[in-house]
Structure 1
Amino acid sequence: MELPSLDAPTLVLHGTADQLTPVENGVRLAGRIPGAHLTLFDGARHAYFLERREEASVAVVDFLDSHSDALD
């Protein structure tokens, strides 16, 4: 499947200090998926979900809440 053909709500999360996957990859990924939402965690590395557990959890829950109609 080509990224531009995705029609599901998409959230891309990325740490800005990720040394394994450059932040530009997250930016490009979100840019290729129509309507994708990109959330960057300033200073977080590859394991942003451990370093910024609270922020990441809020981002995911908020995203799911805002797209609950599409997820039914």
Structure 2
Amino acid sequence: MSEAGITKPLNMTERQTTIEEFTNFCQAEKERQMNSGVDFDENAFEKAKELTLNKLQILEDEGWV
């Protein structure tokens, strides 16, 4: 069978790194919070996200994630 004829099941996705998964989660959560109608401190959210990404990068560099 040619490569063009091979398909993946819909639930099969490419493996993402922990940092990529967290970044995607943050993007969706930020959008959800901004559309919730409740006060949302975007600056605090971004600072928390950056702090977490820095820590995840350290863990990745050390081989933990």
Shorter-chain-normalised TM-score: which range?
0.3 to 0.5
TM-score (norm 1): 0.37
Structure of greater Rg: 2
**Quick check: which one's strand share is greater?**
1
TM-score (norm 2): 0.39
